[in-house]
A and B are shown apart, each in its own frame.
Chain A
Amino acid sequence: MTVSTTIAHPPVQPTDAAAPPRRALKAPKESYKVNWPLTIVLLMAALTILIPLYFTVVMALKGPSQTGGTGLETPNPVEFANFPAAWVTVGFGRALMSTAFVTVFSVIGAVLASSMVAFAIARNWERRFFRASYVYLLSALFIPFPVLILPLIKQTAVLGLDNPVGVILLHVLGGISFFSLLYIAFIRSIPVEIEESARLDGASTWQVFWRIIVPLLGPMNATVAIFAFLGAWNDFLLPQMIIADPTLQTLPVVQNLFQGEFNTDYNLAFASYLMALAPTLIVYVLAQRWVLSGVMRGAVK
């Protein structure tokens, strides 16, 4: 926990707390001596990120006659028609709705199911059944996806779950191991006394869970939600293998179209790639503070 707190409030807080008073007087935020050589090295390294992004954008804005050369040339004239054309070609609207549906319910499902399971396990740790459940759920961390997937394809088809609902179910169940681990560690840090005082006031276990535990889980909910969001939004394998009806297919999978049939139409392909990357990119830039601290919390805790 200490780590993520340090991240959330960058340099100022720890120094102030730990240093002798004379330091507290100076050192406002970022008033260090800037290491310019290192900054320049990093700026050059940043090109490895920026060039592919720039390239995707300019390719999406060119007409077919401009695709020759390196592809890095600026578009002239700018061709916005690629976006609607790509939208229609891959059925972008439909795929976007399907992806959004899968993502929203995967995130909600992951947060609810994992926190409930974690609460039950953490608060009944002395009972053998719950301890055994913990180990049982953890064992899934070791099962590689390739072992599951072939039987799963058959099974979901038989059960009529070869659709986005099945994918949601599998995302939630697949995430249970890791997410309930995160939650259990967090719930252990919440004093039982808080719950006990609520129980004295007549609260049931469910009321304790909804009114006390869930609100206190705030930061961990955010962490799990970010992981679940990225996992579901970008997932290619599960939808590709599970969803039988092409009209219900998700964004990463429909991008595949351009690799095959429309191999030559690079501008449409890149317009489509850009439209697929843009939502996460925009959300990330707007919410990067929470994303970074959330991912860090998940990684370290």
Chain B
Amino acid sequence: MTLPTLLEAPPRDAGPAPAAAPPRRHGRLDRAYLVMIVPVLALFTLFIVFPALTGVLFSFTNYAGYGDWKFIGALNYVNMFKDPTILQAYLFTFFFALVSTLVVNVLSLALALALNAKIKWRTGMRTLFFIPMVLSGLVVAYVFTYLFSNTIPALADSLGVTPLASSILSDERFAWIAVVFVTVWQAAPGVTIIYLAGLQAIPGEVHEAAELDGAGGFRKFASITLPLILGYLVINVILGFKGYLGAYEIIVALTGGGPGTATQSVAMKIFSGFSGGDYAYQMANAVVFFIITVAISLFQLRIIQRRGVSL
């Protein structure tokens, strides 16, 4: 939910009220403003920036999380690239983030179009479909764990559908489907709401004009609706992808990274450093993860700016 606002960050030269800037604004700075901002900046530095920097520092040591440590240069980083479990976590995380982004956006766009259409009980439907947004992801994942491992196999069994008769959570090849399903279930409302906002910003006249020109339903969507909400689509894809890269809660609650390490995400791997004694090693992992995340975000931002999409 952060990037859209970031994209329209205020221009450097624009003051709060550019036209009527009174002379007072180049005068003495009221100390009250400093009292408002300096303590927050100090705490922010202490609790957000400082830990991030310590993390980077420790990634160059052999610190286990306790006891003595010394600098070992880039050894953690070198080892990391030779570690098949880390490589697997990255592969799974990227695969999962790509699939989730794709599925969430297709479903959410369809849902937003439907909730914006001339349906019966529109307000009630909206209320209903946005419920997952306010629920705790963790508890939701627990509920689905039971559904996947007991209910669906029991149903499949009684219907004679043998391929589904055992839990997909314990199947190495298909456990990711369950993870994607619950992630999408939880994330779709937030994405839908952004699309819905985009759809509501389109003036009704545009569609009326297209109708007069003889455009059918699909033509209207492809030639008018889609281009007009392209900005929202871009935002949803960027936010989604970045968010799913950090997936943790739902996977932990649903599969615990299993079966084996089939659904282990990078975030889970990093957090394991706290109890596993390889604190410094996982900090190196975290730094690499940070660099990759930022690089992807910046890359996506570049593309948007080049395409001139604005919100």
Determine whether the beta carbon of A146 is less than 8 Å from that of B40.
Answer: no
| B22 contacts the other chain (CB 8 A) | yes
Which interface residue of B117, B130, B139 has the most chain A CB atoms within 10 A?
B139
Query: Are A237 and B20 closer than 8 Å at their CB atoms?
Result: no
- Pair B5/A185 contact, Cβ less than 8 Å: yes
Give chain A residues whose Cβ lies under 8 Å from the Cβ of B123.
10
Q: Say whether chain B's binding surface is mostly helix, strand, loop, or mixed.
A: helix
- Stretch in B69-77, B96-104, B218-226, B245-253 with 4+ CB within 8 Å of A: B245-253
State whether A69 touches B154 (Cβ < 8 A): yes
In the bound complex, CA of A233 to CA of B125 (Å): 25
A300 to B15, CA, bound (A): 22
Cβ–Cβ contact B294 & A142, under 8 A? yes
Inside 8 A of A96's CB, which chain B residues have their CB? none
B51 close to A148 (CB less than 8 A): yes
Q: Are A299 and B197 in contact (CB under 8 A)?
A: yes
**Residues on B with beta carbons closer than 8 Å to the beta carbon of A164:** none
Q: Which residues of B contact A269 (CB under 8 A)?
A: 142
Instruction: State in angstroms the CA–CA spacing of A15 and B50 once bound together.
Output: 53
CB atoms of A276 and B136 under 8 A apart: yes
Q: Mark B133-162, 1 if CB is under 8 A from A, else 0.
A: 111111110111011001100110010000
A18 close to B (CB within 8 Å): yes
Q: For this complex, into which size category does the number of interface residues on chain B fall?
A: 35 or more
- Chain A residues, Cβ within 8 Å of B147: 52, 55, 71
A55-B143, A151-B51 known; A18 vs B203 contact (CB < 8 Å): yes
Knowing A18-B204, A147-B290, A178-B1, the reply to whether A125 touches B10 (Cβ < 8 A) is yes
User: CB-CB < 8 A to A173: which residues of B?
Assistant: 40, 43-44, 47-48
Does the CB pair B293–A204 fall under 8 Å? no
Name the contact of A150 in the complex, choosing from B14, B282, B311 (C-beta under 8 A).
Answer: B282
Interface size for A (C-beta < 8 A) is 120
A159-185 to B contact mask, C-beta < 8 Å, 1/0: 000000000011001101110011011
Chain A: CB-nearest residue to B5 = A181
0/1 string, A245-256, CB within 8 A of B gives 1? 000000110011
Residues of B within 8 A of A15 (CB): 204
Nearest Cβ on chain A to B144's Cβ, whole angstroms: 7
A52 and B274 in contact, given A39-B121, A296-B197, A300-B4 (Cβ under 8 angstroms): no
Any chain A CB within 8 A of the CB of B16?
A: yes
A273 CB-CB contact with B under 8 Å:
yes
Given contacts A150-B282, A259-B253, contact A184 B1 (CB under 8 A): no
> Which stretch in A74-82, A83-91, A100-108, A283-291 binds the other chain?
A283-291
Which residue from chain A places its CB closest to the CB of B37 in the assembled complex?
A120
Q: How distant is the Cα of A116 from the Cα of B205 in the complex, in angstroms? A: 41
* Cβ of A25 under 8 Å from chain B: no
Would A144 and B290 count as touching, CB distance under 8 A?
yes
Residue A277 at the B interface, CB < 8 A? yes
**Chain B residues in 8 Å Cβ range of A150:** 55, 65, 270-271, 273-274, 279, 282-283, 286
Q: Whole-angstrom distance between the alpha carbons of A49 and B41 in the complex?
A: 42
Inside 8 A of B129's CB, which chain A residues have their CB? 42, 45-46, 49
Q: A56-B143, A176-B44, A237-B249 are contacts. A296–B150 as well, Cβ < 8 Å?
A: no
CA distance A186 to B143 in the complex (A): 39
Cα(A145)–Cα(B204), bound, Å: 42
How far does the alpha carbon of A146 sit from the alpha carbon of B291 in the complex, in Å?
12
> Are A124's CB and B119's CB within 8 A?
no
- Residues of B near A255 (CB, < 8 A) are 136, 138-139, 142
Query: What's the least CB distance linking B178 to chain A, in Å?
Result: 13
A18 to chain B, nearest CB (A): 7
Q: Tell yes or no: B127 within 8 A of A by CB.
A: yes
Check if B185 sits within 8 Å of A152, measured CB to CB.
no
Q: Is A137 an interface residue (CB 8 A)?
A: yes
Contact among B6, B120, B198, B271 with A181 in the assembled complex (CB-CB below 8 Å): B6
A30, B122: Cα distance in complex, Å:
9
Contact between B139 and A46 (Cβ–Cβ < 8 Å)? no
Please state if A170 and B47 are interface contacts (CB–CB under 8 Å): yes
Q: A161 → chain B, closest Cβ, in Å?
A: 9
Cα of A295 to Cα of B133 in the assembled complex, Å: 10
Lowest 10 A-B CB distances belong to which pairs? A205-B32, A151-B51, A234-B136, A146-B270, A120-B36, A116-B36, A120-B37, A120-B33, A151-B54, A70-B154
Given A237-B249, A251-B136, A292-B126, output 4 extra A-B contacts at Cβ < 8 Å: A72-B151, A143-B52, A152-B51, A241-B274
Binding site for B on A (CB under 8 A): 2-4, 6-7, 10, 14-15, 18, 30, 32-36, 38-39, 41-42, 45-46, 48-50, 52-53, 55-56, 59, 69-72, 113, 116-117, 119-127, 130-131, 133, 136-138, 140-153, 155, 169-170, 173-174, 176-178, 181-182, 184-185, 187-188, 191-193, 196, 204-206, 209, 227, 230, 233-234, 236-237, 241, 251-252, 255-256, 258-259, 266, 269-270, 273, 276-277, 280-281, 283-285, 288, 291-292, 295-296, 298-301
| A–B Cβ pairs within 8 angstroms, 17 of them | A34-B119, A42-B115, A49-B128, A116-B36, A117-B37, A120-B34, A125-B15, A147-B56, A151-B52, A169-B43, A173-B40, A173-B47, A185-B8, A241-B271, A255-B136, A270-B143, A292-B130
